[in-house]
Structure 1
Amino acid sequence: MPAPRAPRPRPAQLAVAVGSAVAGCLAGAFYHPAPWQPFDVRAYFLTVLVALPLALGEKRPFPVLVITAGGFTAYLVLGYQPSLNFWGPAVAFVSVAAGERRGRAGCGAVVLAAVIALSGVYGRLPWPVVAVQAVIVPAVAGAVGLTQRRLAQRNAELRRLTALLDRQQRQEARRAVLDERFRIARGLHDTISQHMTIATLPTGIAEYTFHSDPPAARAALGVATRAGRDALDELRRLLIVLRTHDVTGADEGAPARDGAGNGEGPAAPVPDDLLARIDRIPALAEHLEVAGLRVTVRFSGERRPLHPGVELCAYRVVQEALTNVVKHAAAAAAEVTVAYRDHELDVTVLDRGGRAPGPRTGPTPAVGEAVRRAGSGHGLIGMRERAKIWHGTLTAGPRPEGGFEVRLRLPLGQQLPGDHRPPGPDRGSG
Structure 2
Amino acid sequence: MRIRPLVVDALIAVALTTVAVLLGQESVKQGWPELDARGYVWVALACLPVVFRSRAPLTVLLAVHLACIVYVTEGYWPVVTSFGPMIAVYTVASLRPVRISLPCAGLMCAVWIYAGLISEDAVMASVVGQAVGFALVLWRFGYVARQSAELARQLKREQDERARREVAEERGRIARELHDVVAHHMSVISVQAGLARFVFTSDPGTAHAALGTISGTSGEALEELRRMLRVLRSEDGDDGSDAPEAPMPGLARLAEMVERVGAGGVPVELRVTGTPRAVAPGVELCAYRVVQEALTNVLKHARGAEATVELVYRRHHIEVAVTNTAPSGGEGGIPDRVRAGSGHGLLGMRERAKLYGGTISIGPLSEGGFAVRLTLPTSARAAAQGDDATE
Per the alignment, do residues 104 and 377 of structure 1 end up closer, same or farther by CA in structure 2, a change over 3 Å counting? closer
Candidates 264, 267, 274, aligned match of 2:247: 274
Change (3 A) 1:62 1:349: same
Contact 1:49 1:68 in 2 (8 A): no
1:47 corresponds to which of 26, 36, 39: 39
Q: Which residues of structure 1 form unaligned runs of 5+? A: 1-7, 76-81, 122-129, 247-256, 357-371, 416-430
Distance in 2, matches of 1:91 and 1:231, equals 74
2:355 counterpart (385, 389, 392): 389
Asked if 1:136 corresponds to 2:102, the answer is no
TM-score, normalising length: structure 1: 0.69
Q: Does 1:316 align with 2:308?
A: no
Distance 1:289 1:49 in 2: 96
What is the CA distance between 1:380 and its match in structure 2?
1.2
Cα offset for 1:174? Answer: 3.2
| Deviation of 1:105 (Å) | 4.3
Going from structure 1 to structure 2, the CA distance change for 1:292 and 1:144 (only over 3 Å counts) comes to: same
- Partner residue, 1:307: 280
- The amino acid across from 1:53 in the alignment is L
Q: Aligned with 1:120: secondary structure?
A: coil
Compute the TM-score of the two structures, normalised by the length of structure 2.
Answer: 0.75
1:334 aligns with 2:307: yes
Code of the residue aligned with 1:119 in structure 2: it is S
Q: Note the C-alpha offset of 1:9.
A: 6.8
Query: Within 2, Cα distance between the matches of 1:276 and 1:92?
Result: 71
CA distance in 1, matches of 2:310, 2:247: 24
Counterpart residue identity of residue 11, structure 1: L
* Alpha-carbon distance change, 142 to 46 in structure 1, aligned in 2, over 3 angstroms: farther
Distance 1:114 1:289, change over 3 A: closer
What per-residue deviation string (whole Å, max 9, x for no partner) do you get for residues 75-134 of structure 1? 3xxxxxx7xx2414654664576446545644653543343244234xxxxxxxx4xx22
Mapped to 2, the partners of 1:411 and 1:234 lie a distance apart of 25
Name the aligned partner's letter for residue 321 of structure 1: A
Residues 296 and 143 (structure 1), Cα distance of their counterparts in 2 relative to 1, 3 Å cut: same
Q: In 1, Cα distance between the equivalents of 2:207 and 2:108? A: 101
Aligned letter for 1:395?
S
Q: Distance in 2 between matches of 1:412 and 1:218?
A: 42
SS in 2 for 1:381: helix
* Aligned residues with identical type, % of pairs: 34
- CA offsets, 1:9-35, max 9 Å, x none? 74334433354345435644xx699xx
State the match for 2:385 in structure 1. Answer: none
**How far 1:153 moved relative to its partner?**
2.2
Q: Which residue number corresponds to residue 164 of structure 1?
A: 154
Q: Secondary structure of the residue that 2:159 maps to in structure 1?
A: helix
The answer to which of 146-155 and 87-96 deviates more is 87-96
Match of 1:249 in 2: none
Give me the whole-angstrom Cα distance separating, in 1, the residues matched to 2:62 and 2:192. Answer: 89
Query: Is the Cα contact below 8 Å between 2:108 and 2:131 reproduced in 1?
Result: no
| Equivalence for 2:11 | 11
Deviations 1:255-308 (A, max 9, x none): xx975xxxx489x8x76x421111211221122222232212222234221011
The residue correspondences of 1:48-63 to structure 2 (distance < 5 A) are: 48=40, 51-55=43-47, 56=49, 59=57, 60-62=60-62
Residue of structure 2 in register with 1:398 after alignment: 364
| Partner AA of 2:372 in structure 1 | V
Measure, in 1, the Cα distance between the counterparts of 2:88 and 2:208: 94
CA distance in 2, matches of 1:226, 1:391: 34
Q: Residues 342-357 of structure 1: matches in 2 within 5 Å?
A: 342-355=315-328
Contact 1:113 1:135 in 2 (8 A): no
Moved more, 288-297 or 108-117: 108-117
C-alpha separation in 2, matches of 1:312 and 1:70 = 80
SS of alignment partner, residue 207 of structure 2:
helix
When residues 137 and 205 of structure 1 are mapped into structure 2, their CA distance, relative to the original with a 3 A threshold, is same
Whether contact under 8 Å (2:192, 2:214) holds in the other structure is yes
> Which residue does 2:227 correspond to in 1?
237
After superposition, give the CA deviation of every residue in 1:140-185 in whole Å (9 maximum; x if it has no partner): 2432332222222222223223333333333333333333333333
Change (3 A) 1:24 1:349: same
Distance 1:137 1:228, change over 3 A: same
| Structure 1 CA distance for aligned equivalents of residues 81 and 231 of structure 2 | 72
Residue 196 of structure 1 aligns with which residue? 186
Match of residue 218, structure 2, among 212, 228, 244 = 228
Q: Map 1:5-84 to 2 at 5 A.
A: 10-21=10-21, 23-25=23-25, 27-28=27-28, 44-45=36-37, 47-48=39-40, 51-55=43-47, 56=49, 59=57, 60-62=60-62, 64-75=64-75
- Contact kept, 8 Å, 1:399 with 1:405, in 2: the verdict is yes
1:231-254 CA-to-partner distances (Å, cap 9, x unmatched) read: 2333333333333479xxxxxxxx
Q: Shift of the alpha carbon at 1:408?
A: 1.4
Instruction: Count matched residues.
Output: 347
* Residue number in structure 2 paired with 1:380: 346
The separation in 2 between residues aligned to 1:219 and 1:93, in whole angstroms, is 91
SS class of match (1:182)? helix
The 8 Å contact of residues 25 and 47 in structure 1, kept in 2 or not, is answered as no
**2:226 partner amino acid:** R
| Rg larger for | 1
Gaps of 5+ in 2: 1-7, 93-99, 330-337, 382-391
Measured in 2, the distance between the counterparts of 1:241 and 1:109 equals 65
CA distance in 2, matches of 1:212, 1:32: 118
Distance in structure 1 (CA, Å) of the matches to 2:268 and 2:176: 24
